[in-house]
Structure 1
Amino acid sequence: MIYLSAFADEISPDPTEQLDTLLMHSIRFVEFRSIFGINVLDLTDEQHEQFRSLLKERGMGLSAIGSPIGKIKADEPFEPHLERYEIALKLCDFYECPRIRVFSYYIPQGSSPADHRDEVLRRMAAKAEIAQQRGVTLMLENEKGIYGDTADRVKEILDAVHSPALAHAFDPANYLEVGQPIDKAWTMLRDRVAHFHVKDYDTKLKKNVPAGEGEGEIPRLIADAVSRGFEGYCVLEPHLLVAEASTGFTGPERFGDAAVALQTCLSREGVTYA
């Protein structure tokens, strides 16, 4: 069984509107990135208490803590970033959600990924070791400008760290944006995928589009994953109106378009979802 989730801050900064819109489209999980325009790691204890209450009132939960962990330059100090990481780990306990979305560090301008390989692998291994001790799984997302922006380097990280606490959050649009062939990426990584970000991309228009309308092969990939025993979350991250390095925005109306597009694709493929 797969479960539908979403980066609800793509709908609105207001948490009530976020959750009510998700329920309108029969989506009961959130990839928690922000509310009130404030990143999940920077919210107060009171704001977290209030949001958890909203989730419980609606019978909803989290698919992951949608953290920005790993979104610093590979040569920036690591210790302060570990303190941010600790916040994310504590939120896993607070929300009873043992998953954190992470990244593999920006490559500083003027250098190459190879220049930072050892440091990136060291940092990823350190975080995975901590995550395993805490019963948490890190979902490594591929993204442009990050060490793990291509399938080869994502696989390199996963192989080098070799931890059950580190898996792949596959983002088709992000692969397309860096010129990575989707078929190659999927064939190389499908057995390592534990999380799916539903973001499609049209390379001719150079913009994000609803699932199934771009070249991300989203319906086929999800169907293939399910046929291979995938059980996990397919997380809407449409980026239909705004697509930036740290966030995206879709709005409630276009989010509805994105949700319907995904659900229609899945139904056509005969994929059961909740």
Structure 2
Amino acid sequence: MVRISAFADEISKDPVEQLDVLESHGIRHIEFRSIHGINVLDLSDAQHEEFRALLRSRGFGLSAIGSPIGKIKITDPFDSHLQRFDLAMDLAEFYDAPRIRIFSFYMPPGENPAIHRDETMTRMTELARRAAARGITLLLENEKGIFGDTAPRVLDILETVNAPSLSHAFDPANYVEVGQPIDEAWVSLRSRVTHFHVKDYDSKTHKNVPAGEGEGQIPRLIADAVANSYDGFCVLEPHLVIAELSFGFTGPERFGDAARALKGALDGNGIAYA
């Protein structure tokens, strides 16, 4: 079963407007990255209490904590980052959403990522170990500039760590942006994909576009995933107006374009969704 979710901070900083727009498109889940322009890991306890109450009153849930864990340099200290990770796990439990989106650390520009493979694997193994102890699933997203930017390196992480608590959040646009052939990525990683980020990319214009308008082959990949018993979220992360390292923005109107494109792709393939 496909369930649609979204990075609602791409709509607005205001959590009420986020929910209003999502509700207008029949979407009832959020990948929680920020509200009020503040990252999920930096909000106060009171803000979290208020947001959880708002979600419950409006009938919304979270698909995952859209954390920035792993978005530091591989040469940065890890101990303090583990404290941030512990907070992310606390929040996953607080919101009853035992899934956390993570990354695999930025590589020094110009250096061969192989130099930092061992340290990357050590860190990823520790994250997976801690998550397993608390019944939390980590969703490893591929992204430009980090160790896991290409499919072979994402697969290397997943096979080396080899833990049920670590799986893949497949981001087609991020693969296209680094020149990773989508077919190769999908074939090698399909069995490990438990989360799908709906973001497409046009390499000619170097811009993110609605699903199906770029080279990410999103309609075909989702159809193939469902044909192979995919049961998870398709998370709208359109980046149609702004696409930066730690933030993307689409706005209420363009978000509508993104939502309609995804639903059109699902409807066109006869895929049921909620």
Q: Which of the five TM-score ranges fits, normalised by the shorter chain? A: over 0.9
SS of 2:211's equivalent in the other structure is coil
SS of 1:56's equivalent in the other structure is helix
Runs ≥4 residues deviating over 3 A? none
Partner of 1:199: 199
For 1:262 and 1:243, the matched residues in 2 are separated by 19
Deviation at 1:110, TM superposition (A): 3.7
Q: What does the per-residue CA deviation read over 1:217-266, in whole Å, with 9 as the maximum and x for residues that have no partner?
A: 00110010011011000000000000001110000000011000100110
Partner of 2:94: 94
Q: What does the per-residue CA deviation read over 1:75-134, in whole Å, with 9 as the maximum and x for residues that have no partner?
A: 110000000001100001100000000000000124220110000000000000000000
Partner of 1:185: 185
For 2:44 and 2:234, the matched residues in 1 are separated by 28
For 2:23 and 2:54, the matched residues in 1 are separated by 12
Partner of 1:53: 53
Matches within 5 A, 1:22-61: 22-61=22-61
Partner of 1:114: 114
Partner of 1:221: 221
For 2:173, give the aligned amino acid. A
Residue 123 of structure 2 is aligned to residue 123 of structure 1:
yes
SS of 2:109's equivalent in the other structure is coil
Q: What does the per-residue CA deviation read over 1:170-211, in whole Å, with 9 as the maximum and x for residues that have no partner?
A: 000000000000000000000000000000001111100000
For 1:247 and 1:86, the matched residues in 2 are separated by 22
Residue 222 of structure 2 is aligned to residue 210 of structure 1:
no
Partner of 1:261: 261
For 1:179 and 1:73, the matched residues in 2 are separated by 22
For 2:247, give the aligned amino acid. T
For 1:54, give the aligned amino acid. L
Structure 2 unaligned regions, length at least 5: none
For 2:239, give the aligned amino acid. H
Partner of 2:20: 20
Partner of 2:165: 165
For 2:78 and 2:96, the matched residues in 1 are separated by 27
For 1:211, give the aligned amino acid. A
For 1:186 and 1:269, the matched residues in 2 are separated by 18
Residue 73 of structure 2 is aligned to residue 73 of structure 1:
yes
SS of 2:12's equivalent in the other structure is coil
SS of 1:216's equivalent in the other structure is coil
SS of 2:5's equivalent in the other structure is strand
Partner of 1:154: 154
> Once the two structures are aligned, what percentage of the paired residues are identical?
66
SS of 2:189's equivalent in the other structure is helix
For 1:102 and 1:14, the matched residues in 2 are separated by 24
Structure 1 unaligned regions, length at least 5: none
For 2:179, give the aligned amino acid. G
For 2:76 and 2:205, the matched residues in 1 are separated by 35
For 1:257 and 1:57, the matched residues in 2 are separated by 27
For 1:78 and 1:106, the matched residues in 2 are separated by 13
Partner of 2:247: 247
SS of 1:235's equivalent in the other structure is strand
SS of 1:131's equivalent in the other structure is helix
**Matched residue pairs, number?**
274
For 2:201 and 2:52, the matched residues in 1 are separated by 33
For 1:212, give the aligned amino acid. G
